[in-house]
Amino acid sequence: MARHIDVHADLPSAPPTTHDDRRCEHCGRPHGHTLRCLPDGRWLSPEGVWFDSDGHPAPWPDVVDYAGVRMSRSVVGLYRRSRAASKPQHLCRRCFLDSGRDTHRQVARIRSLMRFALGDLFEGAYSA
């Protein structure tokens, strides 16, 4: 399971980064900006260019697509996929959740089964 890394505590040799130059390595979203996002993954950069969910330039949405726009604040963090992974990545929250979906499902399933196991041991913490 990936974990968020505190840059200053875990990577003392990493060069200090300002908040303005951090970008997601997958989709290119800048850190700390409120962006317009469409349900299909397109987002409007602060420079006024639309990008798709992979970070490639995308066409402007039509009126019907734009009706589903929502404002989202992008937060880019430094994540390491596993303890064995050597190189951490700057990912936005959306890309982090999307890339680790299988792992997150496995962890959710194990936690659910653990809840049932505790219920079996201590007279039911669930109603089933």
Footprint on this chain of Zn ion (rule: CB under 5 A): 24, 26-27, 29, 92, 95
* CA 17, 19, 20, 21 torsion-angle sign: positive
Task: With CA atoms as reference, report the closest residue to 53 among 88, 85, 29.
Answer: 29
Minimum CB distance to Zn ion, residue 6 (Å): 20
Nearer Cβ to Zn ion, position 7 or 72? 72
At closest approach, how far in Å is the CB of 82 from Zn ion?
19
Q: How far is the CB of 59 from Zn ion (least distance, A)?
A: 20
User: What beta strand segments (E) does 21-106 contain?
Assistant: 34-37, 43-44, 50-51, 70-73, 76-80, 89-92
Number of C-beta neighbours around residue 27 at 10 A: 21
CB nearer Zn ion, residue 26 or residue 81:
26
Determine the Cα–Cα distance for residues 107 and 95; give it in Å rounded to an integer.
18
Q: Which alpha helices (DSSP H) does the chain contain, by range?
A: 7-10, 63-66, 93-99, 101-121
Give the DSSP letter of residue 100: T
Q: Which is nearer to Zn ion, 27 or 44 (CB)?
A: 27
**C-beta of 91: minimal distance to Zn ion in Å?**
6
| C-beta of 3 vs 93, nearer to Zn ion | 93
